[in-house]
Copies of this chain bind each other. A is one copy, B any other.
Amino acid sequence: MAGHMAGHRAGHRPEREPRRRVTIADVARHAQVSTTAVSKVLRNAYGASPAMRDRVKAAIEELGYRPHAAARAMRGRTFTIGVLIPHVRNPFFADVLDGVGEQLGGSGYQAILVQGGSTDLAAESRAVEALIDRQVDGILMIAPITPKSRLEEVAGEMPLIVLGRHERSSAYDAVFDDDDAGTELVVRHLIELGHRRIGHISQRNAGRGKPVALPHLTRAETYRRVMTEHGLEGEIAIATTSWTEEGGYDGTRELLARSPRPTAIFAGADQAAFGALSALHEAGLSVPGDVSVAGYDNTRLAAMANISLTSVDQDGTLMGRTAARLLLERVEGRTAAMRFSVTPALVPRLSTGPAPGSGAGA
């Protein structure tokens, strides 16, 4: 794992000649028209004859001209949308980005991503400011931990879509999963299998102020509610770690330390569920013989035969596609707030089974 550095051998020509880029002026000269004309053609604006359009387009082609986004930013649009993502490690976000990419393809808009850090509010703020400073035309924030008040400020400066949060705002659009419904599906599934001691792994809230309406809150709350509705309020056990493999592992160890130990674990996310499976394996417990495990997100890995993790499918691609569409609408001028929620579905697999000695199920 050590690194080895080597310098350059051959003595080529390491000059970086700042070979001036083709500008709108070059195109104008080449096509024998004004820069205004070129600009109009570029933006499909009114006031250019078909003949002129053709000449300009030909010149653009010949010279290989591409607009300079930074210069555009100073006056009009950059045709760039900024996406804030907590961390690229979460595969669910990859689905969302696939959807964003699908929707943006051919629209002329380019997505640029910045990582927020998922637990560090200061880092997330810097990332968002970086997007604003770079004059993107609109911002999509995925599961941000930024307080609502600040989101509304950002929305005051530019079009904003927030994905994965439940609060209602008139300043930005919201795209989210119906986490309440999804959680109800899993928890009931476990209860119907005869489980009573069902543990839950949740995430720590970021920051110290009022927690923002992120999915982990809804999932934990609904877990409590459904447990209570089934007379299981005494069995509620939540380990608050993080939705990562490590978090799932630690949370599971914590839950297993209880006596008697839970017979089922609802990890709030697949990533945490993978850690749970690992911890159970290490503890010599069989799944689902001794302990059932369910996740949330239905990541690709959950479907693998040797994992076969019961999970809740939320259509991340659809969420991403919708978010991007809403954002483009806002860029084009819409100001009324919209909310879009996807309805999740339970995907039962082999990681959940009847509670030991319950007589339920097979």
- List chain A positions with a Cβ less than 8 A from chain B: 1-8, 10, 12-17, 19, 66-71, 73-74, 78, 80, 85, 87-89, 91, 93-94, 97, 101, 110-115, 126-127, 129-130, 132-135, 155-159, 170-171, 245-246, 249, 274-275, 277-282, 300-301, 304-307, 313-315, 318, 322, 335-345
Known contacts A8-B337, A156-B17; decide if A301 and B281 are in contact (CB<8 Å): no
Q: Which of B13, B70, B78, B278 contacts A304 (CB 8 A)?
A: B278
Do B66 and A129 touch across chains, with their CB atoms under 8 A apart? Answer: yes
- 14 other contacts beyond A134-B134, A301-B301, with CB at 8 A cut-off? A1-B342, A1-B344, A6-B339, A13-B170, A68-B133, A69-B130, A70-B133, A88-B113, A89-B91, A110-B114, A113-B115, A245-B300, A278-B305, A278-B306
- State how many copies of this chain the complex holds: 2
Most chain B CB atoms below 10 A, which of A2, A94, A114, A306:
A306
- The answer, among B114, B322, B337, for a CB contact under 8 Å with A113, is B114
On whether the beta carbons of A3 and B343 are closer than 8 Å, the reply is yes
Chain A at the B interface: SS class: mixed
Q: Taking A16-B156, A97-B88 as contacts, is the C-beta distance between A304 and B275 under 8 angstroms?
A: yes
Q: Which 8 A-B pairs have the closest CB atoms?
A: A70-B73, A14-B335, A12-B170, A278-B304, A281-B306, A8-B337, A113-B113, A89-B94
Measured between C-beta atoms, what is the minimum distance from A10 to chain B in Å? 6
Which B residues are CB-close (under 8 A) to A157?
A: 16, 19
User: Closest approach, in angstroms, between the C-beta of A157 and any C-beta of chain B?
Assistant: 7
Residue in B closest to A88 when the chains form the complex, CB atoms:
B88
Residues of B within 8 A of A126 (CB): 110
B300 touches A282 (CB 8 A): no
Query: Cβ of A68: which chain B residues have Cβ within 8 Å of it?
Result: 133, 135
**If the complex has contacts A88-B94, A277-B304, are A5 and B335 also in contact, measured as CB distance less than 8 A?**
no
User: A304 CA to B307 CA in the complex, in Å?
Assistant: 12
In whole Å, how far is A68's beta carbon from the nearest beta carbon of chain B?
6
Supply 12 A–B pairs (Cβ within 8 Å), ascending by A.
A2-B342, A3-B341, A8-B337, A10-B170, A66-B132, A70-B78, A70-B134, A91-B91, A112-B113, A245-B300, A274-B304, A301-B301
Residues of B within 8 A of A112 (CB): 112-114, 130, 134
**CA A155 – CA B277 in complex, angstroms?**
46
Bound form: Cα–Cα A336–B11 in Å: 9
Give chain B residues whose Cβ lies under 8 Å from the Cβ of A3.
315, 318, 322, 340-343
Check A69/B4 contact, CB under 8 A, given A304-B278, A336-B14: no
Interface centre among A304, A314, A337 (most CB of B within 10 A): A304
Once bound together, how far apart are the Cα atoms of A246 and B7, in whole Å? 40
Residue of B nearest to A339 (CB): B6
Does the CB pair A245–B279 fall under 8 Å? no
